[in-house]
Amino acid sequence: MKTPKIDWKKNSGLVPAIVQDAATLQVLMLGYMNAEALKKTQRSKRVTFFSRSKNRLWTKGETSGNFLHLVSLAVDCDNDTLLVKATADGPTCHRGTPSCFGDEGARGIGFLAHLEQVVAARIKSKDKTSYTVRLALEGVGRVAQKVGEEGVETALAAVIANDKEFTGEAADLLYHLIVLLRVKKLSLTDAIAVLEKRHAPKH
């Protein structure tokens, strides 16, 4: 991973590092890095900060076990702030919440990525009390059939039902599509990558 060009002369050799969930894009926390913390982050793939209160390097999760695993790094236009995308082993905040910026998990479009994580975890658990698990165990054909049924119901609701019923059917369709992707060993990211490629600027 290429080291971003950072202006370490600002702020006494420290730069803010905003940590964002790589899947949901939810902002998880803010810390500070010096050059040594950045190098350790890149080397270990675990997000490491410089603790101003302890005056030493501090790897997030070294006490709780809830590490942040590095996915990517980017620097802002002034070269003095880092954007760190990572995956979290558990709650990021010491209060037990996913983010240090509130109690809620990912919202909006980011919730789809969170839902995908929940679906994946349930399928892995093989707990047959879960509808998701029972459906997944029926195989690709059955899940594909459910997606087809939900697609038809969504289309019909768009024409003959009210908005509440239509959005409910659309939600069912999205859920079953996520399950189908997971059963096929794929993810929303794979489908999004196709959309990104289709809509990339043509030179």
Strand partners, 56: 51
- Distance of alpha carbon 57 from alpha carbon 49, whole angstroms: 6
Q: How confident is the model at residue 22 (pLDDT cuts 50, 70, 90)?
A: very high
Domains plus CATH for the chain? 10-88 (3.10.20.810), 110-198 (1.10.287.1080)
**What burial letters (b/e) apply to 181-194, b meaning 16+ CB within 10 Å?**
bbbeeebbeeeeee
Q: What is the DSSP string of 138-152?
A: T-HHHHHHHHHHHHH
Cβ atoms of 103 and 109 within 8 Å: the answer is: no
- Distance of alpha carbon 89 from alpha carbon 23, whole angstroms: 13
Q: How confident is the model at residue 10 (pLDDT cuts 50, 70, 90)?
A: confident
Quick one: pLDDT at residue 2?
74
Cβ atoms of 98 and 105 within 8 Å: the answer is: yes
- Distance of alpha carbon 68 from alpha carbon 40, whole angstroms: 13
- Distance of alpha carbon 108 from alpha carbon 39, whole angstroms: 34
Name the helix (H) or strand (E) containing 51: strand 48-51
Residue whose C-alpha is closest to residue 181's, from 170, 196, 192, 168: 192
Q: Regarding beta strands 56-59 and 82-88, do their DSSP bridges make them parallel or antiparallel, or are they unpaired? A: unpaired
Q: How confident is the model at residue 166 (pLDDT cuts 50, 70, 90)?
A: very high
Question: Residue 55 has which token pair?
Answer: 């005056």
Question: Residue 185 has which token pair?
Answer: 């060993």
Summarised one tens digit per residue, pLDDT across range 42-101 is 999 999 999 999 999 999 999 999 999 999 999 999 999 999 999 999 999 999 999 999
- Distance of alpha carbon 10 from alpha carbon 12, whole angstroms: 6
**Residue type at position 9:** K
Pure H helices in the chain? 35-44, 110-125, 131-137, 140-160, 163-183, 188-198
Summarised one tens digit per residue, pLDDT across range 93-149 is 999 999 999 888 899 999 999 999 999 999 999 999 999 999 999 999 999 999 999
Quick one: pLDDT at residue 17?
97
Quick one: pLDDT at residue 103?
84
